[in-house]
Amino acid sequence: MDSAETGRHYDLYIHVPAEAEKDKNKKFPVVYILDGQWDFKLMDSVLGGLVYDKFVPPMVLVGITYSGADPEYNSLRAMDYTPVAQADPKGSGDAEKFYAFVKDKVIPFVEQNYPGDPKQRVLMGSSFGGLFTLYAMFKDPALFSRYMAASPAVSYGNDFAFKQEAEYAKAHKDLPVRLYMGVGSDEGLTKPVEKMMKEMDSRKYRGLVREFKVFEPERHASNKPELYNRGLRFLFEK
């Protein structure tokens, strides 16, 4: 899938639940996974166990990643997931463009071609992907109903995420979403993410159903298996 917004080329990895074959009219929640090149297979495995044990319903998974034989994932994601430009990483600051691509191209494509329920969209990402997840949530909470931010890079761009949250709080008393946010206890982002958790709790947003967790003793990548498992359970808790 080509994006006129970012000028880049993307692949979508899509899992459709087997239950969709049994009922052609049934719609399922859709989880949009940033950094699909790394996290789609992990989430697919996590989901399989949770569906089997009936912790969560069957759902569509959509991993968003980049096309090409040998894409520079770190450079590309640093462009797409960051909301403001910095000298390093080069080309950063395209989150608004990437957001438009997801909203105007990816979501319509998925919901026109797969059994996705527009009322049950989930956005999830880790690190820069977690930063983009929070960026999207504060930009327009209604686009997705559920959000999972793993080790979000909230200190990026001179604490951009804190400034965006503060601006949102000035104009809104409500934040009607489910949010799961986690971080490892032994990583560089631990203290900044804990600060973000406290800032958000201090707002007492109406409608926000949230769970914040520090995973011990985990780091930036090792927290993912448990975080994704616990996060998906929380997002679909009844």
Q: Using 50, 70 and 90 to split pLDDT, how confident is the model at 73?
A: very high
pLDDT tens digit sequence for 85-125: 999 889 999 999 999 999 999 999 999 999 999 999 999 99
β-strands 60-66, 10-15: how paired? antiparallel
| Whole-number Å distance between alpha carbons of 152 and 82 | 11
CA angle 62, 23, 114 (to 5 degrees): 25
Residue 72 has a CB neighbour count (10 Å cut-off) of 11
Buried b (16+ CB within 10 A) or exposed e, 128-165: bbbbbbbbbbbbebebbbbbbbbbbbbbbbeebbbebb
pLDDT tens digit sequence for 59-69: 999 999 999 88
According to DSSP, residue 13 is labeled E
Give yes or no for residue 24 having a pLDDT over 90. Answer: no
Residue range 10-235 in CATH 3.40.50.150: no
| Whole-number Å distance between alpha carbons of 128 and 213 | 18
Per-residue confidence (pLDDT) for residue 238, from 0 to 100: 83
Domain ranges of the chain: 10-235
The overall average pLDDT reported for the chain is 97
Give yes or no for residue 128 having a pLDDT over 90. Answer: yes
Per-residue confidence (pLDDT) for residue 198, from 0 to 100: 98
Average pLDDT rounded to a whole number, residues 17-34 = 95
Percentage of the chain lying above the pLDDT 90 cut? 97
| Whole-number Å distance between alpha carbons of 80 and 199 | 26
Phi, psi (rounded to 5 degrees) for 24: -65, -15
N residues, the chain? 238
pLDDT tens digit sequence for 29-50: 999 999 999 999 999 999 999 9
Tokens representing residue 208 in the block: 């926000």
Q: Using 50, 70 and 90 to split pLDDT, how confident is the model at 83?
A: very high
